[in-house]
Structure 1
């Protein structure tokens, strides 16, 4: 599992790094520093774009991922996804910050406005490719998203599987 082809495949699937044993601690430290710097640059860029301050994850979510502060209001009958921060707000007012892959998936489905999209189309739109393993990756993202959102908000995300066709999302407002 540490051949150049394996490493290249892992990196092409979106990994920030592909480490194999034994791990050189200097390499690990450089990778972690790069990730930290990238996140700090992203936060600085978001601060420039947003006229209001975007609260940190800790200000919105507690250690258990549940809402502990008052989030911005959501739509009365639907869900709201802030594309810039990745904050998903449920109709009951609770909020959860979602991963970049979850955000990209919901943005794509939200822009389709209730239309069904196949797993293959979603995988291609997310630059995963079109193989069976990439379609499985979509299924894993959706499964984790459902589980995590329901645990943290107490509500079922209206992201539905359409038998034999794909996936669609209803009642999702996309905010900048």
Structure 2
């Protein structure tokens, strides 16, 4: 019975954390095998944009364990259209922990922390169709240890209140 209560609590926590879930047009994670993210392992996420007339917010999703050895993570992202043409590539720094205090950012449950970082705000895709985002870790360590999963969320942008 105690396990069932923990399971229900965890499910409610996960569902309650994503306030804009109704705006999501795509959300996907890729698990990193054994928490070892090799540079050659570059997960790709392909999604369809049906309405290119509205803006979208795109987020990185990341799960790491407390044993992760750095306060930040450098990622290179590649956005490609349905023909494979690269629309953009960019190096981003994600702050997983406060650099001064070492306190973890994100939502934690036990040893695991989930993060949602804004990648692009109010982005307008050039046209309707399929798009792919590819993520590569860009740290000096290969493999990068204690990264459990990475992913993206694409949401319809909502007007500021």
TM over 0.5: no
Calculate the TM-score normalised by the size of structure 2. 0.30
Rg (Cα) greater in structure: 1
Select the structure that is richer in strand: 2
Higher relative contact order (CA 8 A, sep 6+): 2
**Structure with more helix by fraction:** 1
